[in-house]
Amino acid sequence: MPANRRLKWIGFAAATGATIIWSGNIIVARAMNQVIEPATLSAFRWAIACLALIPFAWRGLIAERNILKKNFGYLSAASFLGVTLFNSLLYMAAHTTSAVNISLIAISSPIFIVILARVFLKEHITLSKAGGMCLAVLGVLILASEAEPAVILNASFAAGDAWMLFASLIFAGYSVLVGKKPSELGSCTFLLSTFLLGLLMLLPWTLAEIILKGLPEFSMKVVGSLLYIGLGAALVAYALWNKAIETVGPSASGLIYYTLPLFSGLAAFVILDEPLGLIHLFSGFLIVGGIMIAAGINSSSRTA
């Protein structure tokens, strides 16, 4: 297999792995919705990820300290967007918005990624990419509405919808910043430095929540959920997502994000016993087909 094709499949596999793990994060977020406040949940998530990563990355952090100092502004921006804000806003949005609205608004993130990548990374938006994106969006809309246009037309919007839209834009900004990661900065060093900086910037918000609301009760369910989002949705998923962006670029990686509702639906079927039907199969066909059309044009390019 040619090297470019092999890199492309590695990138798509990494983006798919991250998306699968993040689909489980949605299930956990719903389960923890009334148990832990948003910033507190995020803080525990990133603290667990840091503790797990430090034994493997602390040497690189010390060895590359001059590179870290040189790129401190860039790292602070990436940390603030991807660690401090994104998941905290997502958890906050889940308190006041419906699952249908979350599905509809979440599909804006890949669109934001393509637009920002065009502006800041000069990635081209081809006719095939635009057409494939439209097909994937149609598939997500059908999945979210269960093929009932009235569901979308009659959807009511709450404050959480604005937070979710903001979170989608934030995630797009983070993804584009990862595409500009300095080549001399190691992957583990980048992960640990952004996790630590993001957690540090999250602490004032977290402390305010703890003072006002207190700490949650740490049952086995809560501890298991925190371990999943800390080790899986934070550490492993972010490592995979960053690898995907480094390999195929933010736009191609963002296209895989359209499969999030599919994996979330499958997780709900397995864990929550929610039904699956022909509409899921049809919408999945549209989403995957749209991704294949859109990614086939520009996915072979490598963005460092």
* pLDDT tens-digit series, residues 78-94: 999 999 999 999 888 87
Nearest one of 283, 232, 226 to 258, comparing CA atoms: 283
User: Domain map of the chain by residue range?
Assistant: 3-298
Per-residue pLDDT tens, the chain, 304 aa: give them.
566 778 888 999 999 999 999 888 877 877 787 889 999 999 999 999 999 999 999 999 999 999 999 999 999 999 999 999 999 998 888 777 755 566 667 777 888 888 888 888 888 778 888 888 888 888 877 776 666 777 666 666 677 778 888 999 999 999 999 999 999 999 999 999 999 999 999 999 999 999 999 998 899 999 999 999 999 999 999 999 999 999 988 988 888 888 877 777 777 677 666 666 777 778 778 888 888 787 664 444 333 3
- Compute the CA torsion angle 55, 56, 59, 61 (nearest 10 deg): -100
pLDDT at site 302: 38
pLDDT at site 39: 95
Kindly list the distances between the CA atom of residue 89 and the CA atoms of 26, 147, 162, 210, in Å, as whole numbers in the listed order.
13, 29, 10, 17
Cα gap 50→96, rounded to integer Å: 30
pLDDT at site 290: 82
pLDDT at site 77: 97
> What token pair was written down for 185?
């900065």
pTM: 0.84
Per residue in 208-228, pLDDT (tens digit) is: 999 999 998 899 999 999 999
Cα gap 263→260, rounded to integer Å: 5
pLDDT at site 132: 84
Residue 90, judged by CB atoms within 10 A of its CB (0-12, 13-18, 19+), counts as buried
pLDDT at site 272: 60
